[in-house]
Structure 1
Amino acid sequence: MGATAGAVWGRAEQQDFRSRVRGTLLGTAVGDALGTPLDGLTLAEIRQEYGAEGLNDLAVGRDRRGAVTHLTQLTLFTLDGLVRAQVRRDTGAWHPPTDLHRAYRRWAATQSDWGPDERRKDDGWLAREEWLYARRDPARACLTGFGDETMGTLDAPKNPGEPGPEAAARSAPFGLLVGWEPQLVLQLAVECAAQTHGHPTAYLAAGAYAVIVHALARGESLDSAVQRALAILAARPGQEPVSDALQHALGAVRQGMPSPARVEDLAGEGTAERLLAVAVYCALVGEDIRHGLCLAVNHGGRSAVAGALTGGLLGALHGETALPPAWLAELEGRPTMLVLADDFAMEMTQGPALHGPGASSPGWLARYPRA
């Protein structure tokens, strides 16, 4: 489906792609929201609060059920930046990492401003969504990485000692570039991750995650998707910790019934490659999406990140209709997510009809300005 740029999309292919885009975005957000109330708790504290089986439903986090964190916020701006990059391609200015950096800078403004600034006409519609102007414990690396106009690169990354998982957790949208070759998907995700997380394991984990989502969005199985990521990683310097973590996740699948203890073993100290391993493991062994997500968050580690990463995989694999509807009904910002997901799907499948040298839709360019 859409294996090459400029491919002709049939109606069934467009519908399948839109479902996977929605599933990836909503799955990331649902996993984030499910895990948020557990962040900072030990497994014993989780069981004391929610019972022997742990948390099995959305709970109150940040004063409401279904609240999301900066992980979801940044995922939204990743998707927005990718649309803007496609639109700006008409101008001949084709450098997606720069467009993504501008999108992330718009997110950074939501963390410091009281609300949307109507004077910034080129911000586009997403930056005018008032619910996004809520500071949800953003990682320090994200604030410092996007705190000024200087863009981190692989040659000069921001926070070069930061191995955390936040860059990976915002990288699922790169995998939705199904018309790109997987090597290019990995490269873009890696370059954008280095804007905040300059440690090789952090940005390579982000790249591997994007490649796995990419394979899932193109209809491959999860096991096949992981094998594809491992093959592409093999040529990258410094990839050994990420590859080892993924192999550890695959091996854990064969070690008996899944348990929080096994998840905690995979999670380790909560670095990017270890949380990626948790997501792969939970998505593989979960009896269904609900079980996989609950397994991912019920441990004494980075529950929101683990949930977000796992949700992105399961959403890309199964599409939006497989996600628990009761959870979606309470998800913060769901209307915004649906609009953005559908806009992304339309841009990727019908972009030339929306903007180009011949004719452009004024409404589309007002939503996603070229400037």
Structure 2
Amino acid sequence: MSTAAATGVWGRAEQQDFRSRVRGTLLGAAVGDALGAPVDELSLEGIREAHGAEGLTEPAPAHGRRGTVTAATQLTLFTVDGLIRAQVRRDTGAWHPPTDLHRAYRRWAATQSDWGPDERRKEDGWLAREEWLYSRRSPARACLVGFGDENMGTLEAPMNPDEKGTEAVTRSAPFGLLVGWEPQLVLQLAVECAVQTHGHPSAYLAAGAHTILVHGLARGESLDGAIQRALALLAARPGHQPVTDALKHALGAVRQGMPTPSRVEELMGDGGAEGALAAAVYCALVGEDIRHGLRLAVNHGGASSAAGGLCGALLGALHGETALPPGWLTELEGRATILELADDFAMEMTQGPALHGPAVSSPGWLARYPRA
């Protein structure tokens, strides 16, 4: 994987491995999000009262049925869509990925106010015409405000400068799948897109750190190695200390014996982005398998869907799609859309020049991901 990522020359086995990790990341994030959604508002005692002494061990109904996702998964998919559109627009010379991502997030914002897809807006591409994405799943005010504004937040003038919530970090895993990019550039892009809604350093640097973790795992590194790289890159960023401390706290907790919900809850802290990231990293490190890790990530009194989604993205990037629980995937809302988008992303990143460029242009691809 690392050779292909560095040279841009992809063999068949490397393409298959990358596609599996892309699928694993997106499906893992969605499965973790959906697993945690039914218990998001519950204390640990409330979870046990509703689901038994062991807590939530299998998907449970939320938003009307089992397997439904939250706004975090919706936004993650529009992150992928924006990244593909950015690559396609690169041919035009008008290449500024944060702007392309902002446009993608504004397409998500339209799904939160419109009744359904508008067939007249062909420039929106295929994802914005998926009807299931028009379900409103408790979107955070920070996202509605940030993406409801035509003016894009920047590092110099971020949107919601005091916002520390989890919504920027939970949509940021796809940036880590840019395996051909250097880690510091991936971090920079994630941060520039996070400040479009979350202007506090704890929130946007947590998003950057999560991106670096996914990036390392997608390139075949260990989670420990990815954490060390994230810590090194964070050290150069103003305001990094809360996120750095949270990651170090997660590493220290691994050595404190058997994992418990109370330890996960302690890592979650006050429910900010860095706490959700720390809890997810801890659960990914100590989980005996993906099921165990995800169950740990959602059974506590904190932001269960956020921690579950972050943990799922890490484990999916690490192990690939085939390690995810098949029974949980069968009921996952939007699974066909997620797989289609994941495969499109993998194809764009490994075979983009064969789809669009000076010498060749696929009308079907440009209809799916318009340059406009």
Could you say which TM-score interval applies, normalised by the shorter chain? Answer: over 0.9
Separation in 2, partners of 1:283, 1:162: 26
> Which letter maps to 2:97?
P
SS at match of 2:301: coil
Contact 1:2 1:9 in 2 (8 A): no
Runs (5+) with no aligned partner, structure 1:
none
> What residue number does 1:353 align with?
354
* 2:296 paired with 1:266: no
| CA deviation profile, 1:96-147 (whole Å, cap 9, x unmatched) | 0000000000000000000001111100000000000000000110000101
> Which letter maps to 2:105?
Y
> What residue number does 2:26 align with?
25
> What residue number does 2:140 align with?
139
> What residue number does 1:216 align with?
217
Separation in 1, partners of 2:140, 2:54: 29
Separation in 2, partners of 1:19, 1:5: 19
Separation in 1, partners of 2:303, 2:242: 19
Separation in 1, partners of 2:316, 2:32: 10
* 2:103 paired with 1:102: yes
Separation in 2, partners of 1:200, 1:48: 37
- CA-based RMSD of the aligned residues comes to 0.7
Separation in 2, partners of 1:7, 1:368: 22
> What residue number does 2:189 align with?
188
> Which letter maps to 1:321?
T
> What residue number does 1:123 align with?
124
Separation in 1, partners of 2:258, 2:102: 42
> Which letter maps to 1:368?
Y
> What residue number does 1:44 align with?
45
Contact 2:283 2:297 in 1 (8 A): yes
| CA deviation profile, 1:185-210 (whole Å, cap 9, x unmatched) | 00000000000000011000000000
Separation in 2, partners of 1:172, 1:193: 12
Number of residue pairs aligned between Structure 1 and Structure 2: 371
Separation in 1, partners of 2:207, 2:244: 12
Contact 1:78 1:170 in 2 (8 A): yes
Contact 1:2 1:8 in 2 (8 A): no
Separation in 1, partners of 2:156, 2:344: 33
> What residue number does 1:204 align with?
205
Separation in 1, partners of 2:123, 2:63: 31
Separation in 2, partners of 1:337, 1:117: 21
What is the TM-score with the length of structure 2 in the denominator? 0.99
What is the TM-score with the length of structure 1 in the denominator? 0.99
1:7 CA displacement: 1.3
1:6 CA displacement: 5.5
Q: Percent identity among equivalent residues?
A: 80
Contact 2:2 2:220 in 1 (8 A): no
> What residue number does 1:235 align with?
236
SS at match of 1:8: coil
> Where in structure 2 are the equivalents of 1:1-371 lying within 5 Å?
1=1, 4=5, 7-371=8-372
1:228 CA displacement: 0.6
Separation in 2, partners of 1:86, 1:72: 22
> Which letter maps to 2:11?
G
> Which letter maps to 2:339?
L
Separation in 2, partners of 1:304, 1:140: 17
- After TM superposition, the runs of 4+ consecutive aligned structure 1 residues lying more than 6 A away are none
Separation in 2, partners of 1:22, 1:282: 20
Separation in 2, partners of 1:367, 1:95: 20
Separation in 1, partners of 2:212, 2:322: 23
